[in-house]
Amino acid sequence: MKKKIIVANWKLNGSIKSISYFLSFLKSKIPLYSRKNIIIIAPPTVFLERVYKNIRNTNVFLSAQNIDVNINGAFTGENSVLMMKDIGVQYVILGHSERRLFHYENDEIITKKFGLVKKLNLVPILCIGETEIEKKSNQTKKILKKQLKSILTVFGETAFRNTIIAYEPIWAIGTGVSANPDDVQLIHQFIKNYIKKYDTISAEKLIVQYGGSVNSLNAENFLKKVDIDGLLVGSASLKHEEFLKIIEISDNILQKK
Ligand code: 13P
């Protein structure tokens, strides 16, 4: 049975107090839920080690929200993938639309970072997605292909093995308006078929999760779909009970399979 991957992207939120509370709650429940799901937490960099100390030896894993394009050197204010690995990080979110928009990251920068993450045997969580204008002008597939192609061109047909692709339509992020699960299912199928044109990997081994205004009320409709392999959860992952509910929903769905 394919595990569902549920990622909490805390973005620029949290404090020592709120994180301690969240983790002690999660730790008391996690042995039950982490057998079927893969649960990953992506806190702000400054809290990574604190989270790691709490989740070590559990089935919850640690993700960075970003890394620099350099491994080390005179780059004031940055953090490298090497440092991330050193403190227990196993996954790295790349290409998030907030980084593309507010930090001017383009496909070239994202591709460089993708290479660094792969080189150190960590798992990239590569975010791709279209804007509202692109959706309305029927360009979703074209945009997704372009974003995937920039990785394929550099790293070859097996680039997406051991990678999580997160389909995050930009218009659905932080808006309270999630995408339609039927549409997402078709887009995930499209993404998998596109990659399979290059790679001989079975579709079963490709991982594509959805992100954008996911909460405990709509999670089931996404997770029930055969090609939605998990969720990348933003604001709902900040509330411990809400996040746990989403994991519980995933658990129930897997139970029925
Ligand atoms: P929201 O769940 O707050 O819409 O954020 C989604 C997201 O950007 C996850 O990376």
Whether 53 and 62 have beta carbons less than 8 Å apart is answered as: no
Which of 12, 209, 235, 242 gets mutated to test ligand 1 (max ligand atoms within 8 A of its CB)?
235
**What is the number of domains present in the chain?**
1
Q: Give the DSSP H or E segment for 127.
A: strand 123-128
Average pLDDT of the residues in 124-128: 98
Instruction: Return d(Cα 185, Cα 181) in angstroms, integer.
Output: 6
DSSP annotation of 10 reads -
CATH of the domain at 181: 3.20.20.70
pLDDT at 2 over 90: no
**Is ligand 1 within 6 A of the CB of residue 218?**
no
Average pLDDT of the residues in 128-134: 98
pLDDT at 33 over 70: no
3-state helix, strand, coil in the chain (%, to 5): 50, 15, 35
Range with the poorest average pLDDT among 19-23, 55-59, 247-251: 55-59
Q: Give the DSSP H or E segment for 201.
A: none
Instruction: Return d(Cα 183, Cα 141) in angstroms, integer.
Output: 12
Tokens in use for 106? Answer: 């383009």
pLDDT at 233 over 90: yes
- pTM reported for the whole predicted model: 0.96
The confidence score (pLDDT) of residue 253 equals 87
pLDDT digits (tens, 9 = 90+) for 64-102: 999 999 999 999 999 999 999 999 999 999 999 999 999
Domain extent, residue 148, equals: 4-255
Angle between helices 107-119 and 140-155 (to 10 degrees): 50
